[in-house]
Chains A and B, each alone.
Chain A
Amino acid sequence: MSASSSQALDYLELLPRQTHTKLYEQPSTVLAIFRCMLPHIAKTIVMGMLYMPTPFAAVDLEAWFRPDGKKEREKALAVLEQLHIVASQQDDKRQLSYTLYKGFARSLRQALEGSGTHRSFGVPSSIPDPNRVTIPFLEEYARSQWENILFFMVGSTVGLANANQLGNAVGEGTKALLKAGDFIRISNGRVSITRAGFTFVLQETNAQVWSLLIVYLKHAPQLGMSETDVLSFLFMLGSLELGQDYTTSTLSPTQLQMLEDLSAFGIVYRSSKDARTFYPTRLAVTLTSDTGALSTSDPLKSSPVGSSRPNANKGFIIVETNYRLYAYTSSLLQIAVLSLFTKLTTRFPNLVSGKLTKESTTRAVKLGISSTQIVAYLTAHAHPQMQKTQPFLPPTVTDQIRLWEYEGERVETTTGFLMKEFNSETEYRDVLSYAESLGVLQWKNDSKRLFFVDRVEQISLYLQKKKSRV
């Protein structure tokens, strides 16, 4: 499971059961969730249960795991229950057993067997398109649309002269969405980027696409669109093939409306607004894949969102131990991103140079970029020459960036819930170890029987279940 799909998973987990049930009617959705949202152990459990005629006793499931795998097992089951894929029940003898939800099981079987007449994997257009477009064209289209959005966010903040002009290329709908997602703030017609926006820009493309789409999903009801429709369409897009044109005739009105917005993001391409076909771009087909937007050995496919995502061997940044930074790039987007945390001094046709200073770093920290993000960005884009040493960046520089951040930011905060007033040591230990296995535990104090978690939903479910069992 990649970082980008875990974001989508977080979102999915919070949906109510009815939404899940509706979503699971589409085999393409079920397959996408199964393939890239579930942790590996959860996949194995689902696969094992898929063709079981009877409920699966919890004792038998436990037999699959080594005793030291308890943590992983509970985590996997918690995800499955949260997504309403697996239901647990007790029979008369108080034996716990698990079953797959019927809708999910049926759709997953259909997806795997290719049975049923659901058409949820998209229908290729039967009429040959006179204006057929090529894969390189689609790559270029996706890249320029997406870079425009990023540059719109970053460029206007750092005050590049032609940022406004580029901003015009970004549609009003997209701007509104960026604002709704709190990625940018617009005051007096001037756009400035927010903390969330920085995190967004520094993410990898696939994660960016998901972040934006999740904002889109959250606002779908306000636009009169059904959330399930939107989600199943996104999952369907993930299963389409690049370079193939698909017919719009099988889409629902909501999905037709979405096509327009998605083509503004560069996720799909349509030759005109009333074209009867659409093409998914690289951004769409990698939505539900682990490989991310830069994948495969095919040279054509290896440059997805080109200059903003050069892959590891195409790095362009050199950092010296004296904090000087040289970046071999002419891309305005990259220069804009660099200037968020670097004091850039000179620009040549293919090179910008500058220095990482205390001032530039603290400025970035104030805007909400963390030192980890800066270091990660520099590492990810390190020049091949830099990659010969391990670690890529000079340790003095990375340490100094961290120290600079620490000077400005003396407290570390986490929002969540403090759990207290446990009746007994056993109860405390039990709930604590459950929280630990979910990975939500942030802090604990054994002597006071207190602990702090960043998410409480599953813990409260667990406590309720415990209560009903006693």
Chain B
Amino acid sequence: MVKATRGTLVKCDASIKAMLLDIDSKNGNDFIIEDLDEEHILVKETKIAQLKQRLQSMMKERLKEPESSESEA
């Protein structure tokens, strides 16, 4: 029998996916429904905003960006 599962398809790089899996495993697998392939995962629709936010803060921690020096003329 064919099944339809409601959720949000997330497409990202392999590196980003690794980070998402990391967030998921550290939070009791509360976000991800299914790991689809190297670049796709299925996430609970209600959790996607929270997941994105955690990814943002994780990236901020790990990748220190040089402050952009805007030269205005």
Known: A345-B72, A359-B68, A443-B36. A414 touches B8 (CB 8 A): yes
* Cβ contact within 8 Å between B9 and A442: yes
| Chain B, residue nearest A354 (CB) | B72
Shortest CB-to-CB span from B11 to chain A, Å, is 4
Provide the bound-state CA to CA distance between A421 and B9, in Å: 18
* Cβ contact within 8 Å between A412 and B10: yes
A411 within 8 A of B: yes
Shortest CB-to-CB span from A269 to chain B, Å, is 42
* Cβ contact within 8 Å between B55 and A357: no
Chain B contact-residue range equals: 20 to 34
A89 within 8 A of B: no
Q: In chain B between 8 and 60, which residues have their CB closer than 8 angstroms to a CB of chain A?
A: 8-13, 16, 20, 33-34, 36-37, 40, 42-43, 45, 48, 52, 55, 59
Number of interface residues of A (CB under 8 A): 31
Known: A355-B72, A359-B68, A443-B36. A412 touches B12 (CB 8 A): yes
* Cβ contact within 8 Å between B4 and A418: yes
What residues of B have a CB within 8 angstroms of the CB of A420 in the complex?
A: 2-3, 5
Known: A411-B52, A415-B45. A421 touches B2 (CB 8 A): yes
Shortest CB-to-CB span from B73 to chain A, Å, is 9
Provide the bound-state CA to CA distance between A410 and B42, in Å: 16
| Chain A, residue nearest B6 (CB) | A417
* Cβ contact within 8 Å between B16 and A359: no
B70 within 8 A of A: yes
What residues of B have a CB within 8 angstroms of the CB of A2 in the complex?
A: none
What residues of A have a CB within 8 angstroms of the CB of B48 in the complex?
A: 413, 415
Contact of A423 among B1, B5, B37, B70 (CB under 8 A): B1
Provide the bound-state CA to CA distance between A52 and B10, in Å: 48
A51 within 8 A of B: no
A419 within 8 A of B: yes
A57 within 8 A of B: no
Contact of A443 among B5, B11, B13, B70 (CB under 8 A): B11
CB-CB contacts of A399-436 with B at 8 A, as 1s and 0s?
A: 00000000000111111111111110001000100000
Q: List 8 A-B contacts (CB under 8 A).
A: A410-B13, A410-B16, A412-B10, A416-B9, A418-B7, A420-B3, A423-B1, A448-B36
Given contacts A359-B70, A414-B8, A417-B7, 11 further A-B contacts (CB under 8 A): A410-B12, A412-B11, A413-B9, A413-B10, A416-B9, A417-B6, A418-B34, A418-B42, A427-B2, A456-B4, A460-B4
